[in-house]
Structure 1
Amino acid sequence: MSSSNINSVFAVLSVRKQDDAVRWYANLFGRNADMIPVEGVAEWQLADSAWLQVTADSERAGTSTVIVGVNDIEAQCRTCAEANVPHGEVVEYPGIIKMIEVIDPDGNKIAFVQDISSAS
């Protein structure tokens, strides 16, 4: 795509128990939600134009996957350990990415991915 009118991305994760999920994500990100625009919705700004929204929707809970780009996968592993959030093993696709997966209490997947395609 040479030019685009796109200027931001919101990822939505559906959960069963909003209060429990908001506490879990606050622990994972090390801070409370940046915004609670309406009851049943909490939002974290993860980068300038990237937001993660946690919303109460028991019918869709546990069916989402979000990929979050990080600068350093080992630093993200330490962040997860400090938050007592288990993660999978670091998987490396040589010359492409390194990644870990975290599963929230509802079964949603959060993949933290480090781009290593330009690493020397």
Structure 2
Amino acid sequence: MDLFAGISVSDYPAAVAWYARLFGGPPAFEPNDVESVWKAGEHAYVYVQHRPDHAGHALTTLFVTDLDARLAAIESRGLSPTAVEVYAAGSRKATFTDHDGNEIGFAGPI
């Protein structure tokens, strides 16, 4: 299975800068002047697109094998999770919220 998840944003330049910090670098590619794409996994991509009327409604969670390492890397780039949840099933999730209110979570085993 492949994933190509889109996130609508209202301020495209600010969103590109924020997601570059979240994902640790510039977009993998920019197919046009209102869309930037980051590779989030082997067959997984997350893109932001300037769509102000739809901004702020994304709920995306990416599962990673080493959540602590991922969070440490993101926090070293100046972003902190807005929420951290621990689940009884032995996993946890850290959620980051962009300027529009879109929620991007990273989850993994405890």
The two structures, once aligned, show a CA RMSD in angstroms of 1.4
8 Å Cα contact 2:24-2:74 kept in structure 1: no
8 Å Cα contact 2:83-2:96 kept in structure 1: no
1:77 corresponds to 2:71? yes
Corresponding residue of 2:94:
100
The alignment partner of 2:32 has SS state of coil
Query: How many residues align structurally?
Result: 110
Shift of 1:89: 4.6
- Structure of higher CA gyration radius: 1
Corresponding residue of 1:27:
21
Shift of 1:72: 1.9
Give the AA of the match of 2:39.
Q
Corresponding residue of 2:108:
114
State which of 33, 40, 56 in structure 1 corresponds to 2:34: 40
Give the AA of the match of 2:97.
I
User: How does the TM-score come out when normalised to structure 2?
Assistant: 0.91
1:58 corresponds to 2:52? yes
1:15 corresponds to 2:4? no
CA distance in 2, matches of 1:79, 1:68: 15
* Cα displacement string for residues 68-104 of structure 1 (whole angstroms, at most 9, x for unaligned residues): 1111222222122101112035321133421111001
Q: Which runs of 4+ in 1 moved over 4 A?
A: none
8 Å Cα contact 2:34-2:50 kept in structure 1: yes
Give the AA of the match of 2:82.
G
8 Å Cα contact 1:69-1:115 kept in structure 2: no
User: How does the TM-score come out when normalised to structure 1?
Assistant: 0.84
Give the percent of matched residue pairs that are identical in Structure 1 and Structure 2. Answer: 27
CA distance in 2, matches of 1:9, 1:115: 21
* Higher deviation after alignment, 81-90 or 30-39: 81-90
Q: Which runs of 5+ in 1 are unaligned?
A: 1-6
Shift of 1:115: 4.0
Q: Which runs of 5+ in 2 are unaligned?
A: none
* Cα displacement string for residues 44-81 of structure 1 (whole angstroms, at most 9, x for unaligned residues): 11111100010000001011111111112222221221
